[in-house]
Amino acid sequence: MKREKSTGAVIFTEENTVRNYLVLHSTLGHTTLCKGHAEGSETEHETAVREIREETGLTVDFIDGFREVITYSPKPGVVKDVVFFLARLSGGELTCQPEEVADARFLPFEEALEALTHPSDRDTLQKARAFLEGC
């Protein structure tokens, strides 16, 4: 069994207590959270920072204490772990990586939840929101 690992983040902005969450519409047709494959000996956070910058042009600050892992089989003989952190937008200009991202938007929670294609991403977004509300 081959193992793969990706890392990313639930990215949000907050203005006057209103939070919006970043969702990406992939060139493959699904809507997802920002994530990507680890390269070499990168740490999980290094992978997340690089993937966020590559896919969106954004920089973020991670929120301590949130780490969600999703495990699934993307194809026969492969098991993939996806690690999600929680991150607040800190800078950059939203720019889509054309090879992978067709569109990217910050949406209110309910709209972001509805837009996500996979139940595991929706579950991760819900856990991230609950974590933020408990802070």
Give the HSE-up count for residue 104: Cα atoms under 13 Å, Cβ half-sphere.
24
Residue located via tokens 């194809």: 75
Q: Are 68 and 103 in contact (CB under 8 A)?
A: no
Tokens of 94: 């939203």
Considering only 12-16, 57-61, 85-89, which range has the smallest mean pLDDT? 12-16
* Burial state string for 78-112 with b = 16 or more CB within 10 A and e = fewer than 16: eebebbbbbbebeeeeeebbeeebeebebbebeeb
Per-residue model confidence (pLDDT) at position 17: 85
Q: Are 87 and 60 in contact (CB under 8 A)?
A: yes
pLDDT in tens, 31-51: 999 999 999 999 999 999 999
With a cut of 90, say whether residue 69 has pLDDT above it. Answer: yes
SS3 content of the chain, % helix, strand, coil (to 5): 25, 45, 25
Single-letter residue type at 65: G
Specify the CATH architecture of the domain 2-130: Alpha-Beta Complex (3.90)
Range 19-37 average pLDDT: 95
- Range 105-109, long-range pairs (CB < 8 A, 24+ positions): 105/22, 105/23, 106/12, 106/13, 106/20, 106/21, 106/22, 107/20, 107/21, 107/23, 108/18, 108/19, 108/20, 108/21, 109/19, 109/21
With a cut of 80, say whether residue 114 has pLDDT above it. Answer: yes
With a cut of 90, say whether residue 135 has pLDDT above it. Answer: no
Per-residue model confidence (pLDDT) at position 74: 85
